[in-house]
Amino acid sequence: WILTFNFVNIAWIFFRAENLDTAISLLKSMFGISWVGLPQKWYKVGVMLGQLHGSERTLLYIIISFFICFYCKNSIYFTRYFKPDTKTFLITMLLLWMPIVAANVNPYNEFIYFNF
């Protein structure tokens, strides 16, 4: 998943840049080492982290996410113990049908590659 995440981040630059030269310039600045100056600038990290504020529910969301990630059944479990039946089929078809209907309620979507 790390490779996928990094690929999407790099590919996103080409979608958001105004032209190819800007995208390449941004990629060069991301992967260059001119920004590294660790010993002198480490103190700024503490100041920056001290300024991060979440809502009152942030800790609750983190705890709930932790339990969802580590205690719920994962896809490997479902592939091993899955037994197809009519109820599962109907629920799956309903879940696949609902986004299609929702997409047709508002048929206009901005073209995703308009800035590419």
Q: Is the pTM of this model over 0.75?
A: no
Q: What are the average pLDDT values for consecutive 10-residue runs of the chain, which has 116 residues?
A: 85 82 81 60 61 72 87 84 90 92 71 60
Residue type at position 17: A
Pick from 101, 113, 109, 108: nearest CA to 11? 113
CA dihedral 12, 15, 19, 20 (to 10 degrees): 50
pLDDT the model gives residue 31: 75
Pick from 2, 26, 1, 29: nearest CA to 12? 26
Structure tokens at 103: 């997409």
pLDDT the model gives residue 37: 55
